[in-house]
Amino acid sequence: MEKRGNSLEIKIEETVKKFLEISQDKEIQIISHFDTDGITSTSIIIQTLKKLDRVFSVKIIKSLEEQFIYDLPKEKLILFLDLASGSLNYISNSQLKDVFIIDHHEIIQDIPENVHIINPELHDKQKISSSGLTYLFCKEINSENKEFAKIAILGMIGDMLEKDIDKLNNNILKDGEIKKKRGLLVYPSTRPLNKTLEFSSKPYIPKVTGDTEGVKELLKEIKLNPINGRYKTLIELSEEEMEKLVTAIMLRKPKAKQEEIIGDIFLIKLFNKLEDARELSAMINACSRLGETNIAIQFCMEISKIKKRAESIHVKYKQFLISGLNFVSKTKKIEGDGFVIINAKNIIKDTMIGTIASILSNSSVYEEGTIITTMAYYEDKIKISSRNVGRKGRNVREILNKIIEKIGGEVGGHEFAAGGIISKNKEKEFINSLQKSFEIELVKI
């Protein structure tokens, strides 16, 4: 790995030295985000620390709140994975002594003296997942940790960064011996096509996703019939069959661009079997979002006895997802020029509302540049997720930050994919402020 100036690579090397030095006689508290990127980061660091014989404990969380940071044990080394870049002010006031952050989210606050941070936002804003950063960190500790590269790729795909394969990510792909194949971006490419299409949410296909009869109609239309009661898998299709399938899907998604439908399929060897990386990534995500973070971590670590459990959780999750999408298609929305607000209240789980927002932003239902904001109840709070259709237009993290800074709550994320947590009693105030903010932004444009 070429190291230059104030590069990310140099920063990783320096941070590893400091981490190894401090962690020799300090217990490590790992705190990670509960999505695929956070879970894969956690599984990589757990296996690395076990090899080092370090003492550590793990907490997986949905969001990083102010009080949580203040309650952290002061005597431990705190390691944040896939979060904390938006909580630097709280960390500064927390009296924590040794804090390490491996994250890729936007930084808008000053970095405290007690924080050692690895974040590409500080180094040319390279597009890399937290799992990719954690992998590079662990590989710097010991080159034998190359075996965890494939897990880092699952985190990268979980954060939809597979279209931004630069030098760093490409090296991780090589380390993980990942097979790449060009094809239709529905997954899993290794399962019968009828089921793959029925549960396809990325891309969401109108009158096909969640519709058994719609799937049969599409496959019949292109003369793709079952053989001995079984449909072919995507990777078993001939070139001609693939072309017909792509055309049929494009007709059902007239606003979709070819590059949104066709792309690289990544095949990863897990549990001694070649699998579609998107499916594996989605499975990890499903386990975690349905409260089974332990299963998600063990799945990444290839503990064979939990594989079937993870698969059954994923089936349940997909059913919830289809149900959520059906609700969203029928429910009343707050809509204006360039924005949509969907308040699911307690109908959709707070752990799934971000996924719903992402699916809608990739569905071609809304114009490019539209900001989709979804909301769901979470105990006495509300989880908010905002996405830009086509990843273009206004900075949603800035918009959310301006509002939530005034009414109170937490904000995090990226320019085109951000989220937050507010108190439930601020529901009306938030919606009114958000709507007003969108309308003011529109006038400015």
Query: Residue 74: its pLDDT value, please?
Result: 94
Helix, strand, coil fractions of the chain, as percent rounded to 5: 50, 20, 35
As a CATH number, domain 8-176 is 3.90.1640.30
DSSP classification of residue 156: H
- Residue 247 to residue 241: CA distance in whole angstroms: 10
Query: Residue 166: its pLDDT value, please?
Result: 66
- Residue 408 to residue 413: CA distance in whole angstroms: 17
Domain spans in the chain, listed from the N-terminal domain onward: 8-176, 183-325, 332-444
Contacts of 169 (CB under 8 A, 6+ apart): 127, 128, 132, 156, 161
DSSP classification of residue 149: H
Say which amino acid occupies 339. F
Report CA-CA distances (Å) from 333 to 160, 327, 369: 26, 11, 18
**Which pair of tokens denotes residue 297?**
């971590």
Closest to 94 measured CA to CA, from 80, 114, 108: 114
Q: b/e for 97-130, b at 16 or more Cβ within 10 A?
A: ebbbbbbbbbbeeebbeebbbbbbbebeebbbbb
Report CA-CA distances (Å) from 328 to 18, 130, 194: 48, 30, 24
- Residue 36 to residue 152: CA distance in whole angstroms: 10
The pairing of strands 417-423 and 410-413 is: antiparallel
Query: Residue 165: its pLDDT value, please?
Result: 67
Identify whether the C-beta of residue 177 lies closer than 8 Å to the C-beta of residue 203: no
Query: Residue 132: its pLDDT value, please?
Result: 95
Output the DSSP codes for 158-178: HTT-TT---HHHHHHHHHTT-
- Residue 137 to residue 143: CA distance in whole angstroms: 10
Of how many residues is the chain composed? 445
The number of beta carbons lying within 10 Å of the beta carbon of residue 182 is 9
The number of beta carbons lying within 10 Å of the beta carbon of residue 314 is 21
Closest to 179 measured CA to CA, from 267, 67, 70: 267
DSSP classification of residue 393: S
- Residue 109 to residue 149: CA distance in whole angstroms: 31
End-to-end CA distance of the chain: 44
Helix (H, G, I), strand (E, B) or coil at 333: coil
CATH of range 332-444; options 3.90.1150.60, 3.10.310.40, 3.40.50.300, 3.40.190.10: 3.10.310.40
Check whether the bond before 203 is cis (ω within 30° of 0).
Answer: yes
- Residues linked to residue 420 through DSSP beta bridges, in sequence order: 384, 411
**Which pair of tokens denotes residue 403?**
């509002």
pLDDT tens-digit profile, the chain (445 residues): 445 546 899 999 999 999 999 999 999 999 999 999 999 999 999 999 999 999 999 999 988 889 999 999 999 999 999 999 989 999 999 999 999 999 999 898 999 988 999 999 998 778 899 999 999 999 999 999 999 999 999 999 887 766 666 677 888 989 998 888 777 888 888 889 999 998 887 777 888 888 899 999 999 999 999 999 899 998 888 889 988 998 898 888 777 677 677 888 888 999 999 898 989 999 999 999 999 999 999 999 999 999 999 999 999 998 898 899 989 989 999 998 889 999 999 999 999 999 899 889 877 788 888 999 999 998 999 999 999 998 788 899 999 999 999 999 988 888 889 999 999 999 999 999 999 988 776 544 4
Query: Residue 163: its pLDDT value, please?
Result: 65
Contacts of 373 (CB under 8 A, 6+ apart): 339, 340, 341, 342, 357, 384, 385, 386, 396, 434
Helices in 231-292 by DSSP H: which ranges?
239-252, 258-261, 277-289
Angle subtended by helix axes 277-289 and 149-158, to nearest 10: 70
Helix (H, G, I), strand (E, B) or coil at 418: strand
- Residues linked to residue 276 through DSSP beta bridges, in sequence order: 267
Would you say the C-alpha torsion 131, 133, 138, 142 has a positive or negative sign? positive
